């Protein structure tokens, strides 16, 4: 759609039609305005849109989609642009539909333990609004202070509490979504049980903006845990750390958090956050249990014992609630903190069945040596979700070739271990090439059939997750 | 492109190492910390958005345009993003070089703007004698009653609107500047340390008593204090406002006034100066005569509360000030220098003083150097938010360690609370100790 590149001179008929829908003040089209929307949180991916549209209501969103459908201009929806797979990177010459102004919390319903909000609400604001009612919204992706709930739903985001509380999908009871036709659909209900028709909302959760534009979300809330204990155990081998995690789960303790950081990650995070992380140990495991006070106490003691039995050099307990929050916050900054070491930080998101953790972590170490690369690893050990992070420089082409080799090998190993190429970041652009390796032919083609059925003209986020062969996008 | 942009080769941004721009991995962690992003929710008004524009310029994808210039002057330079950034991006350096480039390219040029910049940066704040002369005139204008006369006469209507709005908030200039209050050498009874004292420029004219208090507190803690005459501006004002060339001149000038080897520390009590003074090595790294000396200099500059806590200052006795105080963190102290704990320790050490925490204490008050002059609207919004937070604490005293914040908060809160530097409160406590002893 090259011709659309020139459409947006501010006196063109198309621009005038669009501004009649959203108001000229909500359209950005100058280069200084557009360049900062050319990327998301993913390294080395950049593209330029023809304009950014910032609607204030769901009705206007529908109007923009109808406009784009009529003009055949692709649309990429985004929230705060913190994605880690390039899912919200613009499509060349397309519209960026930015929903940060749809930020109203519409209802907290303590009788049904639900919250209804617009999709641009910040994730942390959701939990903050639940707090006064004694309620809790558990999913806590690393970027929760700025990520939007709509972005979380579109990517089915995870977080540090996945082990016990699950991921975003487990808290979505309903969504309002604008379809590529411009129609608005409501999917789901406040009912705990609801089997009317296909579970359509589940199709949109994690669809990365390729099927519809989520404008409202009905969320499930849970009672806020009364007590919490946070422990920090350090180990001199990665294996000892991984073994401890396996033993904890084997003993049927399901803490909310079992996070792992290797030495390099610890050093970077400590340099930034200064929370007292051990920087000498080969591996550190951050463990957190929450719930009723007596159970929490019991579990904390049991986990500390298991850690010591399995070779922990030290096990420390967070001094108080504030320290515990600082530790978890520090952990959430791991990916960004690693950027201190090298100019480009390429983050992986492979996930394996928990019993195969040691194998994948050891394999990553071996790959790093073989390809002469600097790789730091951290992640959610309790979920089998690890984030090997390659510290490199995108301007060094020779090294980048080795990076791609290494990534490819890590992906193959993951699949061989029965894992998945992405646990919580999504496929987007960054992992698109690897998807066919994981999917068999029938399931890969099913993805495309669904896309064609709902978005026949490839209007929404084309070229993400997979390429639609022969599509008119 | 809507703006005509000049195409001179990059000077200041060209000097920047590309790795400084590349350090930003655009994760977005800075967004919730940025006052201008929170105001507009537009990416270009965010730290990562501004860095993206700088990178586009470095990559040759964008020229230095008027739009870019306006964007970089919409940025407060509060450095909240620096605290928020896990990746350790050196935003202060990016910010200063970008503004310097904007001035070099002249994309914001108007004759009036050029005149004001020349008058302030190259004359008044470059020459200590001129600053003092202006200070004297302002003092006379305010103290003689002329000021009230002018206000009544309606003569102010001749001024452009933004200057007219600003006139009532002009700081009250002190009758005595620092040099009249502080001797060049002051020695304690028992000398443990020898320190140099920076009197600043705005601080010197409008808060000379804070400088005197600083010296007294230093003396009370065994520090011999050397206070060179006619110090002038350290160049912070210049560096933050796109005049890096003059900042270099000012830095060399002020460094020349202190005998570094004989001093344990160089003390500043103004956050905005301190955060600049600690980075002379960066500013002077290409100057073979000054590069090494600047490294030593950086290592010796200390904010007063940082220094006091570092040497284990003596806690005053008695019960001198029984008031509720809250602490506003100056951006260039907490974000620029990472100093948050020490001023609170100073305040907590004062008997009788009840320290209540201020909500969003690290949020900018809108003063931000000359931001309240250049961007009055956004500055007023931030001031309003700050004052609302102060009022919720119920404090009758606000402690803060930067002249800009001091004025901004005092102007906003009026007679409801008094604003003081933490070191002034400590000095007061020491003084009341002495008077109660003499009574006994």
Task: Give the residue-averaged pLDDT of B359-374.
Answer: 90
Is residue B411 within 8 Å of residue B339, measured between CB atoms? no
> Looking only at Cα atoms, what is the longest distance across chain A?
72
Whether residue A30 and residue B42 make contact (CB cut-off 8 A), yes or no, is no
Would the pLDDT of B360 be above 90?
yes
Query: Pick from A340, A407, A291: which is nearest to B27 by CA?
Result: A340
Cβ-nearest to B26 among A41, A146, A273: A41
The answer to whether B60 contacts chain A (CB < 8 Å) is: no
Residues of B in contact with A344 (CB under 8 A): 22, 25
pLDDT score at B2: 41
Query: What's B191's DSSP letter?
Result: -
Cβ B32–A38 below 8 Å, yes or no? no
Closest CA to A286 of A234, A240, A224, A353: A234
**Strand A283-291 to A257-262 pairing:** antiparallel
Question: What would the two tokens of residue B274 be?
Answer: 């301190």
CA geometry: angle at A142 spanning A301 and A367, to 5°?
A: 85
Confidence tier at B374 by pLDDT (50, 70, 90): confident
Distance from C-alpha of A399 to C-alpha of A393, rounded to nearest angstrom: 8
DSSP characters over B246-286: HHHHHHHHHHTTS-GGG-SEEEE--HHHHHHHTTHHHHTTT
ipTM metric: 0.94
- The stretch B360-378 carries a mean pLDDT of 89
> Sign of the CA dihedral A211, A213, A216, A220?
positive
Instruction: Evaluate if residue B193 carries a pLDDT over 50.
Output: yes
In the structure, how many helices (H) and strands (E) does chain B have?
26, 9
Subunit contact B27:A143, Cβ cutoff 8 A: yes
B27/A335 touch (CB, cutoff 8 Å), yes or no: yes
Q: Which of residues 61-120 of B touch A (CB under 8 A)?
A: 61-62, 65, 67-68, 71, 85-88
Closest chain A CA to residue B72 = A32
Query: How many Å apart are CA B149 and CA B130, to the nearest integer?
Result: 25
Cβ <8 Å between A343 and B28:
no
Residue B44 contacts A, CB cutoff 8 Å: yes
- Better-scored residue on pLDDT, A286 or B440: A286
Q: Cβ of B31 and A146 within 8 Å?
A: yes
Is the confidence at residue B3, as pLDDT, over 70? no
Measure A43 CA to nearest chain B CA, in Å: 6
Split at pLDDT 50, 70, 90, the class of A398 is: very high
In the block, tokens 């590309």 appear at: B18
Residue A470 distance to chain B (closest CA, Å)? 32
Mean pLDDT of chain B: 91
Query: Which residues of chain A neighbour B27 with C-beta distances below 8 Å?
Result: 41, 82, 143, 335-336, 339
Backbone dihedral angles phi then psi of residue A356, each to the nearest 5 degrees: -105, 10
pLDDT, tens digit, for every residue of B339-354?
A: 999 999 999 999 999 9
Q: Å from B91 to nearest chain A CA? A: 14
pLDDT reading at B1 higher than 70: no
SS3 B393: helix
Minimal CA separation from B268 to chain A, in Å: 26
Interacting residues of A356 by C-beta distance below 8 A, sequence separation 6+? A384, A417, A418, A419
Per cent of chain A over pLDDT 90 is 83
Q: Is the pLDDT of residue A459 over 50?
A: yes
Q: Averaged over B176-182, what is the pLDDT?
A: 91
Q: Which residue, A164, A213, A206, is CA-closest to A63? A: A213
Q: What is the pLDDT of residue B401?
A: 96
Sheet with A95-98, side-by-side order of all strands: A27-28, A51-53, A95-98, A75-78
pLDDT tens, residue by residue, B103-156:
999 999 999 899 999 988 998 898 888 888 888 888 888 888 887 777 777 776
| Cβ-based contacts of B43 with chain A (< 8 Å) | 36-37, 81
Cα–Cα dist A91/A80, whole Å = 17
User: Is it the case that residue A472 has pLDDT exceeding 50?
Assistant: no
Torsion over CA: B156, B159, B164, B169 (sign): negative
Q: Is A48 on the interface with B (CB under 8 A)?
A: no
What pLDDT is stored for residue B158 in this prediction? 67
Note the pLDDT of residue A11.
84
B404 φ/ψ angles, rounded to the nearest 5 degrees: -60, -50
Interface with B, mutate which of A26, A36, A332 (most B CBs under 10 A): A36
Output the six-digit token pair for B136.
């004297």
Strand partners for A376: A389
The pLDDT tens digits for A17-30 are 999 999 999 999 99
| Interface contact flag, B65 A32, Cβ < 8 Å | yes
A26-72 pLDDT, tens per residue? 999 999 999 999 999 998 899 999 999 999 999 999 999 999 999 99
Q: Under 8 Å CB-to-CB from B428, ≥6 apart: which residues?
A: B213, B320, B321
Mean pLDDT of B243-270: 96
Interface test with A, best of B49, B56, B87, B90 (most A CBs within 10 A): B87
**Which residue of chain A is at minimal alpha-carbon distance from B43?**
A36
Please give the mean pLDDT across all residues of chain A: 93
Residue A141 pLDDT exceeds 70: yes
Number of Cβ pairs < 8 A linking chain A and chain B: 98
**CB-based contact B42 A272, cutoff 8 Å:** no
Please give, one letter per residue, the 3-state secondary structure of chain A: CHHHHHCCCCCCHHHHHHHHHHCHHHEECCHHHHHHHCCCCCCCCCCCCCEEECCCCHHHHHHHHHHHHHHCCCEEEECCCCCCCCCCCCCCCCEEEECCCCCCEEEEECCCCEEEEECCCEHHHHHHHHHHHCEECCCCCCCCCCCEHHHHHHHCCCCCCHHHHCCHHHHEEEEEEECCCCCEEEEECCCCCCCCCCCHHHHHCCCCCCCCEEEEEEEECEECCCEEEEEEEEECCHHHHHHHHHHHHHCCCCCCEEEEEEHHHHHHHHHHHCCCCCCCCCEEEEEEEEECHHHHHHHHHHHHHHHHHCCEEEEEECCCHHHHHHHHHHHHCHHHHHHHCCCEEEECECECCHHHHHHHHHHHHHHHHHCCCEEEEEEEHHHCEEEEEEEECCCCHHHHHHHHHHHHHHHHHHHHCCCECECCCCCCCCCHHHHHHHCCHHHHHHHHHHHHHHCCCCCECCCCCCCCCCCCC
* Mean pLDDT computed over A442-466: 97
pLDDT (tens digit, 9 = 90+) per residue, B14-39?
888 888 998 999 999 999 999 999 99
Chain B contact present for A145, CB below 8 A:
yes
Sort B268 into a burial class: Cβ within 10 Å, 0-12 / 13-18 / 19+. Answer: buried
The pLDDT assigned to A2 comes to 38
Average pLDDT for B172-191:
92
Which is higher by pLDDT, A47 or B372? A47
């Amino acid at each position: 759609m090259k011709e659309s590149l020139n459409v947006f001179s501010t006196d063109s008929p198309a621009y005038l039609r669009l501004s009649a829908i959203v108001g000229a003040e909500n359209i950005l089209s100058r280069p200084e305005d557009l360049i900062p929307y050319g990327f998301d949180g993913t390294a080395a991916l950049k593209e330029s849109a023809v304009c950014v549209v910032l609607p204030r209501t769901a009705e206007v969103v529908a109007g923009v989609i109808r406009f784009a459908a009529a003009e055949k201009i692709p649309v990429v929806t985004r929230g705060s642009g913190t994605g880690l797979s390039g899912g919200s990177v613009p499509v060349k010459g397309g519209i960026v539909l930015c929903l940060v102004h749809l930020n109203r919390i519409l209802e907290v319903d303590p009788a049904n333990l639900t919250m209804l909000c617009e999709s641009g609400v910040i994730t942390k604001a959701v939990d903050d609004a639940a707090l006064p009612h004694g309620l809790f919204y558990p999913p806590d992706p690393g970027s929760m202070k700025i990520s939007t709930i709509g972005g979380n739903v579109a990517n089915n985001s995870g977080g540090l509490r996945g082990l016990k509380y699950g991921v975003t999908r487990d808290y979505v009871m309903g969504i309002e979504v604008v379809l590529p036709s411009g129609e608005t659909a409501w999917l789901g209900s406040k009912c705990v049980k609801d089997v009317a028709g296909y579970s359509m909302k589940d199709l949109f959760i994690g669809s990365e903006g390729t099927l519809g534009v989520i404008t409202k979300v009905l969320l499930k809330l849970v009672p806020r845990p009364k007590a919490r204990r946070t422990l920090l155990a350090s180990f001199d081998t990665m294996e000892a750390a991984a073994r401890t995690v396996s033993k904890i789960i084997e003993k049927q303790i399901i803490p909310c958090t079992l996070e792992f950081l290797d030495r390099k990650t610890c050093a970077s995070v400590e340099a930034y956050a200064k929370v007292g992380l051990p920087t000498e140990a080969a591996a550190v495991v951050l463990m957190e249990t929450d719930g009723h006070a007596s159970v929490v106490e019991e579990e904390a003691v049991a986990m500390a014992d298991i850690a010591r039995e399995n070779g922990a050099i030290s096990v420390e307990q967070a001094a108080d609630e504030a320290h515990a929050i600082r530790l978890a916050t520090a952990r959430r900054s791991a990916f960004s903190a690693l950027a201190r070491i090298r100019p480009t930080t390429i983050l992986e998101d492979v996930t394996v069945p928990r019993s195969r953790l040691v194998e994948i972590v050891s394999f990553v170490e071996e790959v790093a040596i073989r390809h002469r690369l600097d790789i730091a690893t951290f992640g959610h050990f309790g979920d089998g979700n690890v984030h090997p992070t390659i510290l490199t420089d995108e301007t060094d082409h020779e090294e980048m070739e080795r990076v791609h080799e290494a990534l490819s090998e890590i992906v193959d190993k993951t699949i061989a271990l029965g894992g998945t190429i992405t646990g919580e970041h999504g496929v987007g652009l960054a992992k698109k090439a690897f998807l066919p390796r994981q999917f068999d032919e029938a399931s890969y083609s099913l993805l495309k059939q669904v896309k064609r059925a709902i978005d026949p003209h490839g209007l929404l986020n084309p070229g993400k997750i997979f390429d639609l062969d022969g599509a008119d996008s | 492109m809507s703006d005509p942009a000049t195409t001179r080769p990059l000077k200041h941004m060209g000097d920047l190492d590309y790795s400084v721009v590349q350090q930003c991995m655009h994760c977005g962690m800075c967004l919730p910390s940025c006052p201008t992003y929170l105001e507009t929710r537009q990416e270009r008004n965010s730290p990562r958005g501004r860095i993206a524009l700088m990178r586009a310029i470095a990559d040759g994808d964008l020229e230095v345009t008027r739009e870019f210039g306006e964007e970089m002057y919409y940025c407060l330079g509060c450095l909240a993003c620096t605290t928020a950034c896990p990746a350790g991006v050196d935003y202060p350096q990016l910010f200063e070089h970008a503004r310097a480039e904007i001035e070099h390219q002249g994309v914001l040029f108007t004759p009036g703007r050029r005149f004001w910049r020349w008058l302030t940066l190259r004359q008044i704040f470059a020459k200590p004698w001129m600053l003092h002369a202006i200070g004297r005139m302002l003092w006379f204008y305010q103290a003689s009653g002329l000021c009230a006369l002018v206000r009544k006469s309606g003569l102010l209507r001749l001024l452009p609107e933004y200057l007219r709005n600003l006139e009532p908030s002009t700081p009250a200039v002190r009758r005595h500047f620092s040099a009249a209050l502080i001797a060049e050498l002051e020695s304690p009874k028992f000398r443990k340390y020898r320190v140099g004292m920076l009197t600043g420029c705005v601080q010197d004219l409008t808060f000379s008593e804070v400088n005197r208090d600083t010296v007294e507190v230093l003396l009370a803690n065994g520090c011999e204090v050397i206070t060179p005459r006619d110090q002038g501006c350290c160049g912070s004002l210049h560096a933050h406002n796109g005049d890096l060339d003059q900042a270099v001149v000012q830095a060399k000038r002020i460094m020349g006034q202190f005998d570094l080897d004989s001093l344990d520390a160089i003390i500043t009590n103004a956050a905005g100066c301190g955060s600049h003074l600690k980075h002379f090595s960066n500013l002077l790294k290409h100057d073979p005569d000054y590069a090494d000396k600047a490294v030593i200099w950086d290592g010796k500059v200390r904010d007063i509360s940082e220094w006091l806590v570092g040497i284990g200052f003596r806690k005053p006795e008695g019960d001198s000030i029984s008031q509720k105080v809250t602490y506003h963190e100056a951006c260039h102290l907490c974000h620029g220098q990472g100093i948050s704990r020490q001023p609170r320790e100073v305040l907590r050490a004062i008997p009788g003083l009840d320290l209540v925490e201020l909500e969003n204490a690290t949020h900018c008050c809108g003063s931000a150097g000359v931001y309240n002059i250049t961007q009055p609207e956004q500055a007023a919004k931030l001031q309003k938010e700050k004052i609302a937070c102060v009022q919720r604490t119920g404090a009758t005293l606000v402690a803060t360690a930067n002249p800009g914040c001091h004025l901004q908060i005092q102007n906003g809160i009026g007679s409801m609370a008094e604003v003081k530097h933490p070191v002034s409160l400590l000095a007061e406590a020491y003084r009341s100790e002495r008077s109660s002893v003499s009574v006994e």
